[in-house]
Amino acid sequence: MAKSFGALFLLALIVFSMLQTMAMASKYRGKWNPKWNPKNYGPGSLKRSQCPKECNRRCGDTQYINACLLFCNKCCRKCLCVPPGYYGNKQVCSCYNNWKTKEGGPKCP
């Protein structure tokens, strides 16, 4: 009887933990997994005057903000696009993704 009570208690604890995790994940989904529409991104989707605002958004979560802003604005002026999110998602802006340094590394943050 004591073993079945212990097993039932452990099962209830696991279920409660899973529910709590799902609740927290749905609360922060907008910050960690922003919903973006690919139609709003891509080469030529911005005006030059929009670059500083978009680069502030893109570089807002990095510890190297000055370097990020410098290169992001440079890339945005050339490509007229900035990928969504704080990092990654470069595939939606081919110019931003394909511009490389002399060494072959990515030029745009």
Domain positions in the chain: 38-109
pLDDT at 11: 84
Question: b/e map of 26-49 (b: 16 or more CB within 10 Å)?
Answer: eeeeeeeeeeeeeeebbeebbeee
Measured between alpha carbons, how far is 9 from 36 in angstroms, rounded to an integer? 42
* Global model pTM greater than 0.75: no
Bridge partners for 100 per DSSP: 106
Tell me the pLDDT tens digit for each residue of 21-71.
777 666 555 444 455 565 667 777 899 999 999 999 999 989 999 999 999
Q: CB–CB of 79/95 below 8 Å? A: yes
Tell me the pLDDT tens digit for each residue of 70-97.
999 999 999 999 998 888 888 888 888 8
